[in-house]
Amino acid sequence: MTAYVIGQITVKDPEKWAEYRSQVPETLAPWGAELVLRGTRATVLSGQHPHTDTVVIKFPNMEAVVEWHNSASYQALVPLRIQAAEVDLVSYEADS
């Protein structure tokens, strides 16, 4: 079953964030993942949403999500991510 990781992001340091973003795609390749969307919030249509940016990454399954997130290559980027932005990462399995 296809799985997705959605990141809700508030950038703290644009230079570090750009460095982090440039390195993430390389960590995705071994897991068959693809970047679906990187975007900046335009309008909150309903409710509250404090983050300014969003990323959506598609994986072949939930096992690939977990293996990617726990991989040495991605974990090596986590300290940079923490310095660069506040990020909430959530994984989802697709119903269809």
Give the chain's radius of gyration (CA, Å). Answer: 13
Domain assignment of residue 70, given as a range:
3-42+51-93
For residue range 53-80, list pLDDT tens digits in order. 999 999 999 999 999 999 999 999 999 9
For residue range 27-50, list pLDDT tens digits in order. 999 999 999 999 998 899 999 999
Q: What is the pTM of this model?
A: 0.92
Q: Which DSSP letter does residue 45 get?
A: -
* Alpha carbons 94 and 3: distance in angstroms, whole number: 6
Q: Residue 70 sits in a domain of what CATH number?
A: 3.30.70.100
Please, which pLDDT band fits residue 92 given cuts at 50, 70 and 90? Answer: very high
* Alpha carbons 82 and 44: distance in angstroms, whole number: 25
| 96 has a pLDDT exceeding 90 | no
Domain count across the chain: 1
